[in-house]
Chain A
Amino acid sequence: MKQMTLSALEQIMHTCAGDDESTDSFQQAPERPFADLGYDSLALLETQSVIRREYGVDLSEQALSEAETPQQLVDLVNRWLSAA
């Protein structure tokens, strides 16, 4: 079964934010809030749409707003994938 990893999420979010270099900060600090990582609500909305496209997971805005860290978002997507 396809699962999402922290580095896969980081890759998606780097693309969404338009970063020209990548780091592995999600793995180093999986519970650091998105706000501290510099991702705003628009970047999260964009991430939501990429996750829908690439993973077939349609997260509600409510669910999205409750996932405040990379680990929480990865867990949320993976719970969805496991249940599917």
Chain B
Amino acid sequence: MAVGRLTGPLALLMPGQSAQYQGMGTGLYRDVPAFARVMDELFLLMGAAGDELRSDWLATSPRVPIDHADRSQPLLFAIDYALGRLLMDRGLRPTVLLGHSIGELAAATLAGIFDPAGAVRIVRHRVGQFATVPAGGMAAVAASRAQVQPYLRPGVEIGAVNAPRQTVIAGAVEPLRTTLDALRHAGYTWAPVLSTVPFHSELLRPVVVAAGPLLASLPARPPQIPLVSGYTAGYLTDAEARDPGYWARHPVDPVLFWPALTTLAGAGPQLLVECGPGNGLTRIARRLPQVRSGHSEVLALLGPPTHPYREAEQLAAAAARLGISPP
């Protein structure tokens, strides 16, 4: 693999649910003070819940497992945002942002739509509502949205369009099981998505309704950095950025990641950097014609899940490729 410096317009891809893994970012927290500072700022904004979240995050045997939405959602938001801030504080100016699910809230905060305090309130409120959501699950199917659609039982919906042939479905346990059985009989391959909450299904409607008043009360500004919406697959307009309903609907609206990524990639050659745990989004981005032809390149700041003690080293290697000093 080439080790030369990467140049060109910089797109940040910010991951969401399914990127989480036990210990993610904890090595950076110990070894990179600038990262720890931003994380502590966010934990402080979360109040007592932030202390509990941090101690569970740093624990080798957490009381609540990382795949639980109470842990994965706020931590993914925080780590995505802290990594983005780290790059920007070192002088990098992203030209465009795209977040997957909760990653879009981190992107919106980097873009200045919400301030960190406001974004943390949204995340906390959302997480607080998950207990009211009926049990459900999610699965990734190796098929297009159109191929999957006819097999969906009532109560199961398209959760995300991740790639031309990777569609995530979400719903209540029983109809999800029968839907997956039908898909298997029809010859489709699928794998479970690690989530305790059936994100982007109608089961989260109460969360949307409950978030209305909070979102209406929070100031929202037009983005300072262009943001491609994972929900419209177009550039987020100033009106959308200020519309409380746009943000409130995220938990029920399907994530159109591949269409959004296609919009982003269509702007011309650029460097697509995964700004969060793991390398799931850059792996998808490698399927883009622009990346396969070598016109655009990809880089994951942290790379595949690794032992925490190697994270600072991986981030330093990524920083070198971006031409900035190691954080």
Using CB atoms and an 8 Å cutoff, list the residues of chain A in contact with chain B.
16-21, 23, 25, 35-43, 45-46, 48-49
Q: Are B164 and A16 touching (Cβ within 8 A)?
A: no
Q: Are B292 and A40 touching (Cβ within 8 A)?
A: no
The answer to the question of B93 belonging to the interface, with a C-beta cut-off of 8 Å to chain A, is: no
Using CB atoms and an 8 Å cutoff, list the residues of chain B in contact with chain A.
1, 140, 142, 144, 163-166, 187, 189-191, 279-280, 283-287, 289, 291-292, 304
Q: Min CB distance, A5 to chain B, in Å?
A: 20
Q: Choose among A16, A18, A25 the residue with the greatest number of B CB atoms under 10 Å from its CB.
A: A18
Contacts of B285 in A (CB 8 A): 38
Asked, given contacts A17-B164, A17-B165, A18-B144, whether A42 binds B191 with beta carbons under 8 Å apart, the answer is yes
Q: Min CB distance, A71 to chain B, in Å?
A: 17
Contacts of B289 in A (CB 8 A): 20-21
Contacts of B1 in A (CB 8 A): 36
CB-nearest residue of chain B to A34: B283
Q: Are B142 and A46 touching (Cβ within 8 A)?
A: yes
30 CB-based A-B contacts, threshold 8 Å? A16-B165, A17-B163, A17-B287, A19-B287, A19-B292, A20-B164, A21-B289, A23-B292, A35-B279, A36-B286, A37-B286, A38-B283, A38-B285, A38-B287, A38-B291, A39-B283, A40-B280, A40-B284, A42-B140, A42-B166, A42-B189, A42-B191, A43-B165, A43-B166, A45-B142, A45-B189, A45-B191, A46-B189, A48-B189, A49-B187
Q: Are B164 and A49 touching (Cβ within 8 A)?
A: no
When chains A and B are docked, how far (Å) is the Cα of A49 from the Cα of B190? 11
CB-nearest residue of chain A to B285: A38
CB-nearest residue of chain B to A37: B286
Q: Are A38 and B189 touching (Cβ within 8 A)?
A: no
CB-nearest residue of chain A to B279: A35
CB-nearest residue of chain B to A41: B191
When chains A and B are docked, how far (Å) is the Cα of A38 from the Cα of B293? 13
Contacts of A18 in B (CB 8 A): 144, 163-166
Asked, given contacts A19-B164, A42-B191, whether A35 binds B304 with beta carbons under 8 Å apart, the answer is yes
When chains A and B are docked, how far (Å) is the Cα of A37 from the Cα of B189? 20
When chains A and B are docked, how far (Å) is the Cα of A39 from the Cα of B165? 11
When chains A and B are docked, how far (Å) is the Cα of A35 from the Cα of B286? 9
When chains A and B are docked, how far (Å) is the Cα of A39 from the Cα of B164? 12
When chains A and B are docked, how far (Å) is the Cα of A46 from the Cα of B283? 16
Contacts of A42 in B (CB 8 A): 140, 142, 166, 189-191
When chains A and B are docked, how far (Å) is the Cα of A16 from the Cα of B166? 9
Q: Are A43 and B142 touching (Cβ within 8 A)?
A: yes
When chains A and B are docked, how far (Å) is the Cα of A37 from the Cα of B191? 20
Contacts of A25 in B (CB 8 A): 292
Q: Are B283 and A49 touching (Cβ within 8 A)?
A: no
3 A-B pairs with least C-beta separation? A38-B286, A18-B164, A18-B165
Contacts of B286 in A (CB 8 A): 36-38
